Amino acid sequence: MTGKQTHTLALPGVDLVYDVRGPLPPAGGRPALVMIGQPMTAEGFEALAAHFTDRTVVTYDPRGLGRSVRTDGRSDHTPQQQAADLHLLVEALGVGPVDMFASSGGAVTALELVATHPGDVGTLVAHEPPINAVLPDATAAERAQAAVHEAYRARGTGAGMAAFIAMTSWRGEFTDAYFAQSAPDPAMFGLPTDDDGTRDDPLLSKNSGRSPTTDPTRRR
């Protein structure tokens, strides 16, 4: 894999910044490997991408995150908009279909992409997409998610992130025992206990939609 090259794709409402490690078209006839996360940016894949020395690896900063600065004045994030951006990125690469590793909110975007543009992706590994609707305890999971938002709204980033850590650390279905717990102390996790007044965090706020428009369990 050769050195990283950074490019900017001008799209309506955003200048989408992406990085390519390796040649285009890829050497050896193997598909390009696209790695995406959300709200993680391309920076979070630096270590992982370095292991794929035999592949051309593409990473990018999703709309409104990191280097991909929005010009539309909006702060909301939806799987539909992010998938539309990703489709245009695959088109710009000109080497589709691509293989894709997608994590967290990026996996939700990828599921939306394969539902709306199945020809863009050959193989998708969707790692832990946060889609509560498909869980056996969907109602309780939504309640737990709402509690994270409320902690952030009421007490700021430290409290919201502490609640998020507690939620994602819980094993098994969300039961009465989970909801009976006291609110976690941000200091326990080395998080700030003061409130800086901001409420636009893409992970903790309600700015990020988490559900594809189509059934995420549908087989291609």
- Whole-number percent of the chain with pLDDT over 70: 93
Mean pLDDT for 49-70 is 95
- pLDDT bracket for residue 113 (50, 70, 90): very high
DSSP string, 92-112: HHT--SEEEEEEEHHHHHHHH
Mean pLDDT for 180-192 is 94
Counted residue by residue, the chain has a size of 220
pLDDT at res. 162: 95
Q: Residues 2-41: pLDDT tens digits?
A: 589 999 999 999 999 999 999 999 988 899 999 999 888 9
Q: Which residue has the higher pLDDT, 76 or 153?
A: 153
Q: What is the pTM of this model?
A: 0.81
pLDDT at res. 99: 98
- Whole-number percent of the chain with pLDDT over 90: 79
Which domains are present in the chain?
A: 4-129 (3.40.50.1820), 134-220 (no CATH)
Mean pLDDT for 149-162 is 94
pLDDT at res. 210: 53
pLDDT at res. 77: 81
pLDDT at res. 207: 66
Mean pLDDT for 60-67 is 94
Q: Is the pLDDT of residue 209 over 80?
A: no
Quote the mean pLDDT of the chain.
Answer: 90
pLDDT at res. 93: 97
pLDDT at res. 76: 81
The Cα–Cα gap between 184 and 71 comes to 37
Strand order in the sheet with 33-38: 4-11, 14-21, 57-60, 33-38, 98-104, 121-127
pLDDT at res. 216: 42
- pLDDT bracket for residue 85 (50, 70, 90): very high
Give the tokens for residue 215: 């059934």
pLDDT at res. 211: 52
Q: Is the pLDDT of residue 218 over 50?
A: no
